[in-house]
């Protein structure tokens, strides 16, 4: 039983990690039906920014909570700028083109951003300082969950609630839903569609940056390539849950996290990915639109 | 026209006559085979230079058994299909012994030809375990430890020194890591003093290793033996330590890298990793490197010291055997110790050098320290 709980919590943490990235995929898809393959790189840029800020601040003698807050702020801002710019450069000029063109543009952007960070920084792994406060839990629970894991799970929960409120109850949320339903119609009734799309990229990129800082603190190392694998997994999770749906992205991420965790725990970690992707195939066969996805109406 | 052609031919004949067979004071012919051109030349050329330095030194002192040494240098470009030609050429040119080849694949194909010709080959760099362990090549010797040697060292260290009885063997599913792990499992099972409680591959680059870490805890392992490289190792160790697990961690030279310590930080403390024995302080190694610097005005490349050791071992064996006859040489290589830059070595019955190999290191206060 103890073992089961450990694996459950491990899967929950892993799922929350995926969810923070998957939310960005699903929001962008919901609005403009584009799979933003450069999203994983935005996450990686967030982690790098936090590392640089934290290193500079540590050199100037700051420590503790102020470093954490500043690193988060700068990472979110810088990633949001990147998300905004990527959309303007790589996707906006192709908005009228066939659906394949922006997809290829997205893959190109992903490779570009990887190389840009690799050249600017290094291709080696860099140690990432643990920015999150480490509060030791009491012993019967300490091996089940650490404070870092707890913070990741809690952050994902809070982010999801805030995002739901934003979309359901604010003016901008209403405009986002309108754009998702019918872009031309929204434009006709006076919604500034370009601004809404930019907004979506900014929010998605900010979430990715939050994820980047948390996850890098959790695993303690980063390099220019981390965005690729995390991005693929998060994308899978978003499809699993029904791409375009926000609760779907979170649910899909958790299901993927638990699948991997239990497959590793009870079968073998050799088959971690095999089980994860077998699950994806099965769900797509029986529910082509994903767990919570609805065929076309109402996306965000 | 005809006249000029004849003149040319006779001139050629003259050149050949001048360069013809050397006078009867027979030289000892040592073949040097390996990758001397192509993309892997940097692995082969240092050995050529090492052998040249040793042989020049010996010849300057009058040679061995009163005979000078002559080198037959042949390129195999590290390709098995070229190595057959290289080997045939060396046999037909009547080499007495061969130093090389460099790559395991090329070495393997060449060895069959040498075996039929009763020719000894001493490689400075072919690490494939099969070459010695299969018993198929009694004419093969090497001055470098084989790939399985560090798995053996890791297992022996865990079982005899750290006295653990339950071991989890993990790897990164790659050729190198998985090979290491499979050897480790075999040695643990053969040793019968400990047992393997978990054998698994982890996914490189995964965002989280908590499930595998939980599994290690569940298995009750006292030590983890990990085959692979440092990025995954640092994540696994960090997650183990964050979960208050004191399980020992033993790994290979893919982890014995300063980046591991940098990335794993405080969690690296107490981790064991094997790496090549440090021979930088060996006076012969210092002298060999200095000689290279003097002759070529540069630092030597890969396997230079191993090549130097191979040349010294061969010369020493010829001296002790008082001939270049196959059986006498084999016996001399197996029985006489010789001082080389990689340590004091002789060869075991399979052809592996006794005295070279890996040492175990432990992370202490942020650096790798050799465990004695």
Residue A54 has pLDDT above 80, yes or no: yes
Q: How many CA atoms lie within 13 A of B299 on its CB side?
A: 3
Q: Taking CA atoms, what residue in A is nearest to B211?
A: A261
Burial class from Cβ neighbours inside 10 Å (0-12, 13-18, 19+) for residue A88 reads middle
User: With the CA atoms of B10, B11, B12 and B15 taken in that order, what torsion angle do they form, in degrees rounded to the nearest 10?
Assistant: 120
Q: Is the per-residue pLDDT at B371 higher than 80?
A: yes
Nearest to B200 among A17, A270, A273 (CB): A270
Q: Residue B20 above 80 pLDDT?
A: no
Which residues make beta-bridge pairs with B353?
B347
A268 to chain B: which residues are within 8 Å by CB? 200-201
Q: Which of B200, B245, B263 has its CB closest to that of A220?
A: B263
Axis crossing angle, helix A2-32 with helix A193-219, rounded to the nearest 10: 160
Chain A residues lying within 8 Å of B244, measured CB to CB: 139, 142-143
User: Among all residues of chain B, which has the CA nearest to that of A230?
Assistant: B207
Tokens representing B217 are: 């805890």
- SS3 percent helix, strand, coil of chain B, rounded to 5, is 45, 20, 30
| Per-residue model confidence as pLDDT tens digits over B246-286 | 999 999 988 988 889 988 989 999 999 998 888 878 899 99
How many angstroms away from the CA of A15 is the closest CA of chain B? Answer: 10
pLDDT band at B200 (very low <50, low <70, confident <90, very high): very high
pLDDT at B21 over 70: no
In this prediction, residue B137 carries a pLDDT of 93
Would you say residue A103 has pLDDT above 80?
yes
Q: Tell me which residue of A18, A22, A40, A11 sits closest to A163, measured CA to CA.
A: A22
A10 touches chain B (CB under 8 A): yes
State whether residue A138 sits within 8 Å of chain B by CB.
no
Higher pLDDT, residue A172 or B175: A172
In this prediction, residues A59-69 reach a mean pLDDT of: 85
Query: Residue A55 pLDDT more than 50?
Result: yes
The CA distances from residue B70 to A4, A240, B22, in Å, are 71, 70, 11
Average pLDDT of B164-191?
92
Confidence of residue B1 (pLDDT cuts 50, 70, 90): low
Q: What pLDDT does residue A145 have? A: 79
Decide if A133 touches B, using CB distance below 8 A. no
For chain A, count helices (H), then strands (E).
Answer: 12, 2
Chain A residues within 8 A of B259 when measuring between CB atoms: 124-125
pTM: 0.79
pLDDT at A177 over 80: yes
Is it the case that residue A300 has pLDDT exceeding 60? no
Nearest-angstrom CA–CA distance, B29 and B98 = 9
pLDDT at B159 over 90: yes
B258 min Cα distance to partner chain A (Å): 11
Rounded to the nearest angstrom, the minimum Cα separation between A141 and chain B is 10
Give the per-residue pLDDT at A191. 92
| pLDDT above 90 coverage of chain A, percent | 61
Q: What are the chain A neighbours of B218 within 8 Å (beta carbons)?
A: 3, 6, 265
B150 to each of A29, A168, A183, B11, B361, how far by Cα in Å?
Answer: 51, 61, 64, 59, 12
Q: Does pLDDT of B24 surpass 60? A: no
Mean pLDDT of chain A: 89
* Contact assignment for A272 to B206 by CB distance below 8 Å: yes
What's the pLDDT band for B176 if we cut at 50, 70, 90?
Answer: confident
Cross-chain CB nearest to A269 (options B205, B212, B234): B212
Residue A296 has pLDDT above 80, yes or no: no
Confidence of residue B362 (pLDDT cuts 50, 70, 90): very high
Average pLDDT over residues B290-302: 90
A125 at the B interface (CB within 8 A)?
yes
Three-state secondary structure call for residue A258: helix
Average pLDDT, chain B: 89
CA dihedral B242, B244, B246, B250 (to 10 degrees): -20
What would the mean pLDDT of B41-59 be, rounded to a whole number? 93
Q: Name the minimum distance, in Å, from the CA of B178 to any CA of chain A.
A: 12
A220 touching B (Cβ < 8 Å): yes
Mean pLDDT, residues B65-77: 93
Average pLDDT over residues B31-53: 92
Asked whether the beta carbons of residue A215 and residue B245 sit closer than 8 angstroms, the reply is: no
Q: What is the pLDDT of residues A212-253, one digit of tens each?
A: 999 998 888 898 989 998 899 999 999 999 888 888 999 999
Q: Chain A residues with CB inside 8 Å of B234's CB? A: 125, 220-221
CB atoms within 10 A of CB A249: 34
Question: What band does B23 get if pLDDT is binned at 50, 70 and 90?
Answer: very low
Residues making up chain A, counted from first to last = 300
Task: Name every chain A residue with its beta carbon within 8 A of the beta carbon of B217.
Answer: 6, 143
Whole-angstrom distance between the N-terminal and C-terminal Cα of chain B? Answer: 79
DSSP secondary structure letter of residue A264: I
* B113-151 confidence digits (pLDDT tens): 999 999 999 999 998 888 998 899 999 999 998 888 889
Q: Which tokens sit at B36?
A: 């001397």
Q: What residues in B contact A143, CB-CB < 8 Å?
A: 217, 243-245
- Confidence band for A18, pLDDT divided at 50, 70 and 90: very high
Chain A residue with CA closest to B215: the answer is A265
Q: What percent of chain A has pLDDT over 70?
A: 96
> What's the distance, CA B150 to chain centroid?
12
Q: How far apart are CA B273 and CA B369, in angstroms?
A: 10
pLDDT at B6: 55
Minimal C-alpha gap between A7 and chain B (Å): 6
């Amino acid at each position: 039983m103890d073992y089961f709980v450990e694996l459950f919590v491990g899967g929950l943490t892993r799922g929350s990690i995926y969810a923070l990235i998957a939310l960005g995929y699903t929001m962008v898809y919901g609005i403009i039906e584009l799979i933003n393959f450069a999203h994983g790189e935005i996450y990686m840029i967030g982690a790098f920014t936090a590392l640089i800020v934290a290193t500079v601040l540590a050199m100037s003698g700051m420590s503790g909570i102020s470093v954490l807050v500043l690193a988060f702020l700068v990472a979110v801002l810088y990633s949001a700028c990147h998300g905004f710019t990527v959309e303007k450069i790589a996707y906006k000029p192709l908005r009228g083109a066939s659906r394949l063109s922006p997809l290829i543009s997205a893959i190109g952007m992903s490779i570009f951003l990887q190389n840009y960070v690799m050249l600017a920084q290094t291709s080696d792994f860099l140690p990432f300082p643990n920015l999150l406060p480490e509060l030791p839990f009491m012993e019967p629970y300490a091996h089940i969950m650490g404070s870092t894991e707890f913070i990741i799970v809690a952050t994902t929960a809070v982010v999801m609630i805030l995002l739901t409120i934003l979309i359901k109850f604010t003016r901008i949320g209403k405009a986002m839903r309108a754009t998702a339903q019918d872009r031309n119609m929204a434009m006709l009734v006076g919604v500034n569609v370009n601004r809404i799309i930019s907004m979506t990229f900014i929010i998605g990129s900010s979430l990715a940056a939050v994820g980047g800082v948390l996850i890098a603190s959790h695993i303690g190392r980063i390099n220019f390539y981390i965005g690729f694998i995390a991005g693929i997994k998060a994308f899978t999770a978003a499809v699993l849950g029904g791409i375009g749906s926000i609760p779907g992205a979170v649910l899909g991420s958790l299901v993927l996290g638990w699948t991997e965790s239990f497959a590793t725990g009870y079968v073998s970690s050799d088959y971690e990915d095999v089980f994860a992707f077998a699950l994806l195939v099965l769900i797509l066969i029986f529910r082509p639109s994903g767990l919570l996805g609805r065929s076309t109406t109402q996306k965000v | 026209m005809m006249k000029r052609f004849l003149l040319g031919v006779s001139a050629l004949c003259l050149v050949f006559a001048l360069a013809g067979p050397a006078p009867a004071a027979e030289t000892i012919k040592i073949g040097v085979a390996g990758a001397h051109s192509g993309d892997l030349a940097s692995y082969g050329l240092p050995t050529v230079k090492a052998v040249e330095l040793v042989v020049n030194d010996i010849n300057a002192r009058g040679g061995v058994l009163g005979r000078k040494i002559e080198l037959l240098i042949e390129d195999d470009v590290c390709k098995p299909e070229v190595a057959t030609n290289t080997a045939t050429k060396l046999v037909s040119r009547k080499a007495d012994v061969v130093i090389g080849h460099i790559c395991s694949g090329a070495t393997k194909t060449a060895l069959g030809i040498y075996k039929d010709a009763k020719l000894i080959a001493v490689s400075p760099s072919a690490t494939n375990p099969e070459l010695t362990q299969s018993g198929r090549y009694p004419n093969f010797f090497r001055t470098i430890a084989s790939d399985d040697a560090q798995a053996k060292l890791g297992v022996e260290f865990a079982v005899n020194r750290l006295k653990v009885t339950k071991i989890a063997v993990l790897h990164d599913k790659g050729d190198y890591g998985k090979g290491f792990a499979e050897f480790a499992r075999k040695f643990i099972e053969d040793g019968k003093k400990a047992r393997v409680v978990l054998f698994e591959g982890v996914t490189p680059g995964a965002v989280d290793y908590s499930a595998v870490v939980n599994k290690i805890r569940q298995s009750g392992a006292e030590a983890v033996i990990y085959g692979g490289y440092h990025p995954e190792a640092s994540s696994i160790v960090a997650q183990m330590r964050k979960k208050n697990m004191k399980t020992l961690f033993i790994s290979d030279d893919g982890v014995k890298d300063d980046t591991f310590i940098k990335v794993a930080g405080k969690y690296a403390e107490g981790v064991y990793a094997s790496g090549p024995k440090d021979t930088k302080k060996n006076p012969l190694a210092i002298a060999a490197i200095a000689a290279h610097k003097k002759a070529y005005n540069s630092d030597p490349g890969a396997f230079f010291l191993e090549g130097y050791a191979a040349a010294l071992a061969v010369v020493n064996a010829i001296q002790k055997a008082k001939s270049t006859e196959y059986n006498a040489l084999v016996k001399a290589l197996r029985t006489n110790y010789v001082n080389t830059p990689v340590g004091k070595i002789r060869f075991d019955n399979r052809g592996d050098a006794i005295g070279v190999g890996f040492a175990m290191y432990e992370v202490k206060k942020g650096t790798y320290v050799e465990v004695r």
